[in-house]
Structure 1
Amino acid sequence: MSAQGQAARPQHFVRGVACTLLGGTLWGFSGACAQFLLAGGYGLSPLFITSVRMLGAGLLFLAYMLAAKRGMLKAMLSDRPTILRIAVFGVVGLFANQITYTVVIGYTNAGTATVLQCTGIAFVMVFTCFFARKLPKAKELAGLVLAVAATVLIATHGDLSTLAIPLPGLIWGIANGLACAFYIMYPK
């Protein structure tokens, strides 16, 4: 590796950490804002909030692509299979992930919705093991058991005879986990 390449690695690492922290912070802020808007008596629906969020993000992304990656955008838009894959990802992956997350916030709160969304990682593992026809490794199985246990604790607060969150919130949370798994796996 060249001296210039080695010098750039720490800079890329710092930029990656900063982007990760900023992304997580903005995601948390977005969830708190959605909770505020849904619970604040403004009469806004999860569909409206999700549509505005996605339209705003889509316009910003399109502006970036037009300014910095015009050739790539033109190539993507001139290839029918790519357009179809983008449409499927946009509707079944991105939109489903966003709308189910916002619906869960409406039934529960932003923190619970975020934790339930993280069940997507467990679904990814289950689907990966199923399609690869392999059993999970011991560490993976332990992680799955802990994820299920955490979801049960969130849903029941430790009292298995009753739900501590509304049933629709739990069902939508599981749907959000599935949408998140599709969002993660489909691009591959």
Structure 2
Amino acid sequence: MASNQQNRKMGFILVITGAIFWGVGGTVAQKLFRDYSIEVNWLVTTRLLIAGFLLLSVQYFMKDRDQILDIWKHKRTAFQLTTFGLLGMLAVQYTYMASIQHGNAAVATLLQYLAPAMIIIYLTLRKKTVLTRNDVIAITLALVGSFFLLTNGSISHLSVPLPAIVWGVLSAVSLAFYTLYAISLLKYYDSLVVVGWAMIIGGFVLSFIHPPWQIDLSSLPMEAYVYLIFVILFGTMIAFWFYIESLQSLLPKETSLLGTLEPLAAVLATVFWLQESFGIVQWLGTACIFGLILILAFSKKTSKET
């Protein structure tokens, strides 16, 4: 009994830490774009390659190392993994970072959290699930929250640049695909293997367009290197690792609920650290999208327990 309680406590620590790293990592990336002219394509490429290698290293030393190569031995899983790496992982990472570059981390993160509503709509249209009252409320909150967030209550102007909105919505679409498409692979292979290889695939392909070695970092101050290490190590690799490790001792419903600390961390870091302005109506939009995430988390909990 005491052991189970201790495991649960560690699970809470892991998921909370991972979610905070995710949110703050996006804000740190925004500072790199804004203050040090770090190019978004270079950061995405470098982040994917290094984090993917680190995740596979964790799998090799801590879990079933045979899975790392076994996933490539079957044509079907190899094709699925390649598709997931390009249209899932690479698309999610690139669109999210591009939204941050054109806008800010808070708006980019919140727009990305429209993905759960998109997933509900998709599954309903495909008749794989029945639309419930909670689903309708969640979708409404997503639409209203986005309107408040992006317009600050006025249609006459947008409070963030249009490219940031477009990239942010594309990020949500990519995340929805990422979530749904990975399910079949995760039935047979550890998450570290699937996500680690997906990151390497995405980073490898992008490196042909934006080679990570074609950049001069010699003029950067030491603090910029610290920010880069944080984004790659903590904001990507450790954040994901801690999140999935928490599933060993927590129910998925609990992990997903605590994962809502990611956008909260992004918003707070953007407003208080980067001094980005956020109006009252935008805070109301933020509350609506938080409500969306909480409703979906509790809905998932109910459906899994019944």
Q: What do the CA deviations read for 1:94-132 (whole angstroms, capped 9, x no partner)?
A: 111111000000111111111000001111111111111
- Opposite residue 19 of structure 1, the aligned amino acid is L
| TM-score (norm. length: structure 1) | 0.90
2:112 alignment partner in structure 1:
117
Q: Tell which deviates more after alignment, 98-107 or 21-30.
A: 21-30
Whether 1:144 and 2:139 are equivalent positions in the alignment is: yes
1:94 is matched with which residue: 85, 89, 101? 89
Structure 1: gaps (5+ residues) = 1-5
Q: Tell which deviates more after alignment, 97-106 or 126-135.
A: 126-135
Q: Tell which deviates more after alignment, 116-125 or 22-31.
A: 22-31
Q: What do the CA deviations read for 1:7-53 (whole angstroms, capped 9, x no partner)?
A: 5432332232122111111112210121011101x332211111111
1:67 alignment partner in structure 2:
61
Whether 1:31 and 2:26 are equivalent positions in the alignment is: yes
2:52 is matched with which residue: 25, 33, 58? 58
2: distance between equivalents of 1:104 and 1:91? 18
Structure 2: gaps (5+ residues) = 184-306
Q: What do the CA deviations read for 1:143-186 (whole angstroms, capped 9, x no partner)?
A: 10011100011110001222111111111111011001011111
Whether 1:108 and 2:103 are equivalent positions in the alignment is: yes
How many residues are matched? 182
1:128 alignment partner in structure 2:
123
Q: Shift of residue 56 of structure 1?
A: 1.4
2:295 alignment partner in structure 1:
none
| TM-score (norm. length: structure 2) | 0.57
2: distance between equivalents of 1:22 and 1:39? 26
- Opposite residue 159 of structure 1, the aligned amino acid is S
Whether 1:178 and 2:170 are equivalent positions in the alignment is: no
1: distance between equivalents of 2:97 and 2:161? 15
2:205 alignment partner in structure 1:
none
Sequence identity percentage: 27
Q: Shift of residue 65 of structure 1?
A: 2.3
Q: Which has the higher contact order (CA 8 A, sep 6+)?
A: 2
Change (3 A) 1:74 1:127: same
1:44 is matched with which residue: 32, 38, 45? 38
